[in-house]
C-alpha cells in the first residue's frame, strides 16, 4: 500500500478541500471543471475518464440514493485529483499492486472528504483498504 507519508498527504489534501469548499463531491467536481454524468444501471459503480487536453468526466451508474451518489462521486473525484496522470483505461498495463494502490488512495480520499475523522475509532492513516471500503460500502 501507499507509504504513510503519501497517506498523510492524501488526508491533508482532502481536509484542505473540505475546509475550503465543503464536502459535497458534486460541487467540488464542478469547481475543478470536471463533468459528472449520471447513468441508469443496476449496480452502483463509477468511473473516471481522464483525457489530456480535455475535461475530466466522472460517471456514476445505478446510484439510487443520495448517499450512494456522494460516496461513488467522492471516490471517483479521488481518482481524478490524485491520479490525473492516467488516461481512460488507467489500469491497462498496470500491475495488480498498482491498481490496488490507486483504489486504496481513492478510498482514503473519499473517506477523508466525507467523514470527520473524530467520528472514527481508528485514525485514517492506520486503516487498511478493506476498512475504508467497508465504510464507503456501508453508506451505499
- Predicted confidence (pLDDT) per residue in 9-63, tens digit: 999 999 999 999 999 999 999 999 999 999 887 777 888 988 778 889 999 988 7
- Going by pLDDT thresholds of 50, 70 and 90, the confidence category of residue 86 is low
- Torsion sign (Cα): 33, 39, 42, 47: negative
pLDDT at 128 over 60: yes
Mean pLDDT score, 100-106: 93
Domain contains 140: no
What is the structure's pLDDT at 92? 47
Q: Highest-confidence range of 80-89, 95-104, 119-128, by mean pLDDT?
A: 119-128
- Going by pLDDT thresholds of 50, 70 and 90, the confidence category of residue 91 is very low
* Structural domains of the chain, count: 1
CATH of the domain at 65: 1.10.10.2910
- Structural domain of residue 110, as residue ranges? 4-134
Amino acid at each position: 500500500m501507499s507509504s504513510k507519508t503519501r497517506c498523510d498527504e492524501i488526508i491533508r489534501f482532502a481536509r484542505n478541500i473540505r475546509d475550503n469548499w465543503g464536502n459535497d463531491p458534486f460541487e467540488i467536481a464542478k469547481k475543478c471543471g470536471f463533468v459528472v454524468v449520471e447513468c441508469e444501471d443496476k449496480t452502483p459503480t463509477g468511473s473516471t475518464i481522464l483525457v489530456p487536453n480535455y475535461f475530466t468526466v466522472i460517471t456514476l451508474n445505478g446510484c439510487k440514493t443520495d448517499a450512494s451518489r456522494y460516496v461513488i462521486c467522492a471516490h471517483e473525484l479521488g481518482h481524478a485529483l490524485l491520479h490525473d496522470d492516467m488516461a481512460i483505461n488507467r489500469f491497462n498495463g498496470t500491475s495488480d499492486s498498482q491498481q490496488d494502490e490507486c483504489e486504496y488512495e481513492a478510498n482514503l480520499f473519499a473517506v477523508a472528504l466525507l467523514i470527520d475523522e473524530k467520528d472514527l475509532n481508528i485514525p485514517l492513516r492506520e486503516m487498511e483498504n478493506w476498512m475504508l471500503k467497508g465504510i464507503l460500502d456501508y453508506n451505499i
